[in-house]
Amino acid sequence: MPSLKSSAHSSEDRGKLRARTLAVIKRLKKNYPDAEIALRYSNPLELLVSTILSAQCTDVRVNMVTPNLFNKYQTARDYATANRKEFEAEIRSTGFFRAKTKSILGCCKALVERHAGRVPDLMEELLKLPGVGRKTANVVLGGAFGKAEGIVVDTHVRRLAGRLGFTKHINPEKIELDLMDIVPNKDWFALGNLLIWHGREICQARKPKCRECSVGDLCPSFGVFMKSLYAVRPNS
């Protein structure tokens, strides 16, 4: 995966965007003081496995599957030597279970062979593991090691970053780059969680609750959505 090198923001836009972004972050921190990763885990390996399972799946569903999984597979070697068919059946309800099985078992095999079964705390090493992209690496680094080397960009973050005018891109890596350019490093990990929580609670995909949004006056999409809410449909 290519490294992130530059942002699309012009120097003229950057200052205004940074100021507005800081205002958004401040309000969201007030609204969601306990915003954190919704996945349940007790160590870096559990978070890594949970994050891979969470692709195209809700955290609620993943949290229903992982207790039994973590009880059975407690080390990277346990996963690396797991029976593939059994594992597929155990995670089937999370969707895309064959691909996820391949990623998790392959990732843990690499952990055993390259890192003595331990999850590395460096972005470049995480990205070398099968099934691990920047989103997963950022979640693990921030949640398990307290390190912010980037910003988590999931479906919620991608949607809100666009609606809030923080980026014009749809590619996750380019979105992350734009966000890193206007958000202080100390808020990189927090921003992902804040946008995810706000996306679930208020700025939903199909019907955003603009009337309840605390950052509506800072959002360039607010007027567009409010007009659509009050639009009168012609008689059929």
Instruction: Answer yes or no: do 49 and 27 share one domain.
Output: no
Catalytic residue among 72, 102, 154, 209: 154
Closest to 139 (Cα-Cα) out of 204, 76, 72, 191: 191
Does some domain include residue 157? yes
pTM, full prediction? 0.87
Closest to 190 (Cα-Cα) out of 119, 139, 135: 139
135 is catalytic: yes
pLDDT in the model for residue 1: 38
- Spatial separation of the C-alpha atoms in residues 172 and 159, rounded to whole Å: 10
Crossing angle (nearest 10°) for helices 44-53 and 97-115: 150
Under a CB-based contact definition with an 8 Å cutoff, are residues 192 and 186 in contact? no
pLDDT tens digits along 64-97: 999 999 999 999 999 999 999 999 999 999 999 9
* Among 110, 145, 180, residue at a domain's last position: 145
Q: Total structural domains in the chain? A: 2
Which string of DSSP letters, residue by residue, matches 1-53?
-PPP------HHHHHHHHHHHHHHHHHHHHH-TT----S--SSHHHHHHHHHH
Does some domain include residue 3? no
Instruction: Answer yes or no: do 49 and 141 share one domain.
Output: yes
- Spatial separation of the C-alpha atoms in residues 116 and 80, rounded to whole Å: 12
Does some domain include residue 31? yes
**Domain that residue 79 falls in:** 44-145
Name the helix (H) or strand (E) containing 195: helix 188-201
Catalytic residue among 34, 59, 128, 135: 135
Angle (nearest 5°) at CA 152 between 182 and 223: 60
154 is catalytic: yes
What single-letter amino acid sits at 39? L
pLDDT tens digits along 100-151: 999 999 999 999 999 999 999 999 999 999 999 999 999 999 999 999 999 9
Instruction: Answer yes or no: do 64 and 113 share one domain.
Output: yes
